[in-house]
Chain A
Amino acid sequence: MSAPWRTVAADAEDAEDERRGTEDGPLLSLQTRFSAPSPADAQPVDVSRDGARRGGGGSDAGGGAGGGGGQDDGGPHAPIRATAWWRAERLLPHGLRIITFIPLVALALILGVLSWKAWPAIRFNGFGFFTRTPWSVGNTYAPIVTTNGIRHPPLASYGALPLIIGTLASAAIALVLAVPVAVGTALIVVEKLPPRLSSAVGFCLEVLAGVPSVVFGLWGFFTLGPFLSHDVAPLWADHIPDVPVLRFFRGPTGGGEGLFTVGVVLAIMILPIIAATTRDLLRQVPRATVEGALALGMTDSEALGAVTVPWVRSGVIGASVLGLGRALGETIAVAMVSGSLIGANVHSLYSSFNTIAAAIVNQLDGAQTDASGLAISTLAELGLVLFVITMIANLGARLLVRRVATTALPVGRGI
C-alpha cells in the first residue's frame, strides 16, 4: 500500500504548488504553508463535504498567473495549462448545477406537454371517460364536426374503463404471484445456499432484469401462453363452481393470449426487483439476534417468523410496490400476449383484454388517421391517466417505507 500513498502525497504537493502559484520546491512550499499563510492565500478549507462551495474566491485568479506544476502533461512548468484548468475548475460547480437541473426541467416539460395535448380530449370525453366501455375513433371519412368547440369525427366516443381495469387487474395478478416466489427465493438464497450457488441465482436475477421486454413477449407468445392454457389452467378452470365471484376463474382457457398469461409474464418480469431487494435486506439482518432465537430452541423457520421477517417486512412491501409500478407501465410484452381486445370488458381470467400502455401502442396507427387530432389527444389523456396511476403507486411506496433500499442490480428498468 506504500506506492499509492506516495502518489497521493506527490499529487498533493503539486496541487499545493498549483494553488499558490509559487515556483518553490515542494519542501519549501510546505514550510511556508505551515509557517505563515498570508491572508490573500488563506482559503476557507471546509472539512465537511457539503461546504465545498467556495464563496468569493477572488484571490484564486491572481495566483494562477504564476503557474505551477502542470500535473497532467508531466512537465514541471506549464503555466497556461494550469490556469486553464483553474478557470475550468472554478466554473465546474456552476456547470454541474445547470446540468443537474435538466431532469427537473424535463419532468416539467413532460407533464406540460402531456397536459397541453390531452386538454381537448379531457374536455371532449368528460368524466365519462372513466365509466364508458366503447372505444371508437369515429367515422374518419365523414367531414369533421364540432362539439363544444372541439373538432372531432362524427360518432367518436372513447371510454377507458376496460383499459384501467385491465391495467390494474394484470398488475395485481403479477404482484400476487411474484411476491411469494421472490421472498421464498431470497430466504433460501441467504439462509441456506452456499455462496457459489447464491451467486448463480444472482446471475439468474440479473438476466431476468436485463432480458428485453420484447423477448418476454416472444417467449410468452410461443412458450408460456400455450403451456398455461393447455396444461396449467385446465387443472382448475373446469372444476370451479359457477357462482358470482368464482365464475371469473372458470371457462374455456383459450389459446394462451389473455389476462392470465399477461399476469404470469409480468410476475416474472418484476421478480428480480423484489427478490434482489429482499435478498439484500435479509443480508443486513443482525446475525446475533437470529442466533439468539435459535439458542432459545426455535427452529429455523420459527426464527424467520420471529426475527427475520419483521426486520425486512417494510422493505419488502416497498420493493413490491416498486414492482407494481413497473407492471402497471409495461407495454410491449403486454401488447404481444394480451390479445389486444379494445372496447369491451374482460369477462374471464383467460379472455383477451388490454392495458393502458399497450393500448397506446396498439391504437396509434388508427389514431393517425383522425385528421381532427382528437384521437392523438385522447391517447395523451390515456398517458396522463397511466402517469397518475404509476405515480400513486410510487408515492405509496415512499410513504409506506421512508427509505426503500434500492439495490444496485446491474441491469433492468424500474429498479
Chain B
Amino acid sequence: MRLGRRKSRNRLVWVLCIVALALLVIPVVSILVGVAGRGLAHFRLSFLTTYPTGNVGGLLNSIEGTLVVTTGVLVLAGIIGVAGGVYLAEYCGDNGGQILRGASEVLAGIPSIVLGYVGYIALVLSLDWKYSLYAGIIVLSVLVVPYITKTTEVALRNVPTSYREGGEALGMRTGYLLRKLVLRPALPGIATGLIIAAAIAVGETAPLLLTLGYNEKSPTFSLHNSPSGFLTYNVFNDYNQPSAFLHQRADAAALILIVFVLVLIVVARVIVMMTQRNSPDRAQHAGKGPR
C-alpha cells in the first residue's frame, strides 16, 4: 500500500517533467514552423534582390546593412574582446583581474535598450553624428564585448597548464609560447564566442533603432548621417502596418533572420564537434589509439 503510493508519486514526478519538456519543445516548434510557414507562403525572390522604394520593393538594403553592421561588430568587438580575454587569462592575476571582470559582468547585465539610449544621447545627439553606421557598430560592440571576453578567457583557461609549464621549461618567451602553444587549442572556444557575438548583432533591434535609423539605400560609410537599413527594423516596423505586402515583407525578413541564426548555431555546433573529435581525451575514452 505504502509502496504503491510511493511508486505512483514517483511516476507523477516524471510525468510532470515530461509535461515541462513538452512545454519547452512545443513553442520552439511553433516558432520555427510559424515563422517559416508565414515567411515562405509569400516569399518572392525580389525581396532578396531589390531595394525598397516607399511601400514596395525588397529587403536588399536591410540585408546589406545587417551584414555590414555584423562584420563591423565582429572586427571591433572581436579585437577588444579577444585582447581582453587574453590579458585576463594570461597576464593578470586573479586579484588584479577581479575589478575588470566585475566591470565586464556589469556591462553584460545592462539592458540593450539602455546601451542604445546612451548611444543615442552621446553619439547621435551630443556628438551630432546623426543616425550613423558607426554609432550602431559601437553600441552593439559594447553590448557583445563581455561575451567575447568571457568565452576567450574560459577557452584559454581550459588549455592545460602543463602546456605552459612545458613551454616555459624549454625557455620560450611568453609571447611566443602564447602564439604557438596556448592560442591554438583555444581557437575553437574563441570562435564560438565570436559566433555568439554575431548572433546577437544580427538579432538586436532596440539599440539599432536608436542609433542606426533606417535608410532605403545601401549603407554609406561616412561618419555623419549615414543611416542604414537592418532586417530587424523591417519586422518591427512593418508587422503592424495596414498593408498586406508589408506584412509579407516583414515575415520574409523574420525568415531570413531565423535562417542567419540557424546557420550560426550549426556552425558553432560543427566547431564544437570537430574539436571534440580531435581532442586526445576523447580518443582515449573511445579506446582508439593516437593517430
Complex contact B14–A192 (CB within 8 A): yes
Judge if B38 is at the interface, Cβ distance under 8 Å.
yes
Least Cβ–Cβ distance between A195 and chain B, in angstroms: 13
Within 8 A of A (CB), among B30-45: 30-32, 34-35, 38
Complex contact A96–B104 (CB within 8 A): no
Complex contact B232–A96 (CB within 8 A): no
Complex contact A96–B91 (CB within 8 A): yes
Complex contact B171–A412 (CB within 8 A): no
Query: Among A1, A106, A185, A376, which residue has its beta carbon within 8 angstroms of that of B107?
Result: A106
Least Cβ–Cβ distance between B31 and chain A, in angstroms: 5
Complexed CA–CA distance, A44 and B174 (Å): 11
Chain A residue nearest in CB terms to B149: A103
Known interface pairs A215-B258, A390-B110. Does A207 touch B265 (Cβ–Cβ under 8 Å)?
yes
Complexed CA–CA distance, A49 and B189 (Å): 20
Query: Among B84, B170, B269, which residue has its beta carbon within 8 angstroms of that of A12?
Result: B170
Least Cβ–Cβ distance between A376 and chain B, in angstroms: 7
Q: B212: which A residues are within 8 A, CB to CB?
A: none
Complex contact B261–A212 (CB within 8 A): yes
Least Cβ–Cβ distance between A180 and chain B, in angstroms: 7
Complexed CA–CA distance, A90 and B175 (Å): 8
Inter-chain residue pair count (beta carbon < 8 A)? 326
Complex contact B111–A387 (CB within 8 A): yes
- Segment at the interface with A among B54-62, B129-137, B191-199, B218-226: B191-199
Judge if A361 is at the interface, Cβ distance under 8 Å.
yes
Judge if A219 is at the interface, Cβ distance under 8 Å.
yes
Judge if B285 is at the interface, Cβ distance under 8 Å.
no
Complex contact B90–A211 (CB within 8 A): no
Judge if A331 is at the interface, Cβ distance under 8 Å.
yes
Least Cβ–Cβ distance between A69 and chain B, in angstroms: 11
Complexed CA–CA distance, A95 and B34 (Å): 49
Complexed CA–CA distance, A26 and B181 (Å): 19
Judge if B248 is at the interface, Cβ distance under 8 Å.
no
Judge if A150 is at the interface, Cβ distance under 8 Å.
no
Least Cβ–Cβ distance between A63 and chain B, in angstroms: 11
Judge if B244 is at the interface, Cβ distance under 8 Å.
no
Query: Among B10, B17, B28, B91, which residue has its beta carbon within 8 angstroms of that of A93?
Result: B91
Judge if B75 is at the interface, Cβ distance under 8 Å.
no
Complex contact A211–B121 (CB within 8 A): no
Complex contact A360–B117 (CB within 8 A): yes
Query: Among B10, B92, B232, B262, which residue has its beta carbon within 8 angstroms of that of A214?
Result: B232
Judge if B113 is at the interface, Cβ distance under 8 Å.
yes
Q: A101: which B residues are within 8 A, CB to CB?
A: 100
Complex contact B257–A331 (CB within 8 A): no
Complex contact A380–B121 (CB within 8 A): yes
| In the complex, per-residue mask of B83-124: 1 if CB is within 8 Å of any chain A CB, else 0 | 110111011111000011001111111111111011011100
Judge if B200 is at the interface, Cβ distance under 8 Å.
yes
Known interface pairs A113-B121, A299-B7, A408-B192. Does A213 touch B205 (Cβ–Cβ under 8 Å)?
yes
Q: B69: which A residues are within 8 A, CB to CB?
A: none
Judge if A184 is at the interface, Cβ distance under 8 Å.
yes
Least Cβ–Cβ distance between A232 and chain B, in angstroms: 12
Complexed CA–CA distance, A99 and B34 (Å): 43
Complexed CA–CA distance, A409 and B141 (Å): 19
Known interface pairs A100-B87, A103-B149. Does A208 touch B28 (Cβ–Cβ under 8 Å)?
yes
In the complex, 24 of the A-B residue pairs with CB atoms within 8 angstroms, ordered by the A residue number, are A1-B290, A11-B180, A12-B170, A12-B171, A15-B177, A16-B170, A54-B174, A89-B176, A99-B80, A103-B142, A103-B149, A110-B118, A182-B20, A183-B20, A203-B269, A210-B265, A221-B240, A331-B112, A331-B206, A357-B111, A357-B114, A361-B206, A380-B117, A412-B199
Additional A-B contacts beyond A109-B118, A332-B206, A410-B272 (16; CB < 8 A): A15-B176, A96-B83, A101-B100, A107-B103, A113-B121, A201-B24, A210-B265, A213-B203, A215-B254, A217-B235, A217-B236, A218-B250, A221-B239, A361-B210, A383-B118, A413-B112
Closest 5 CB pairs between A and B?
A329-B111, A184-B20, A212-B203, A89-B175, A301-B13
A-to-B contact residues, CB < 8 Å: 1-2, 8-9, 11-12, 15-16, 18-19, 33, 45-47, 49-50, 52-54, 71, 85, 88-90, 92-93, 95-97, 99-104, 106-107, 109-110, 113-114, 117, 180-185, 187-189, 192, 201, 203-208, 210-219, 221-224, 268, 271, 275, 299-302, 304, 325, 328-332, 335-336, 357, 360-361, 364, 376, 379-380, 383, 386-387, 390-391, 393-394, 406, 408, 410-415
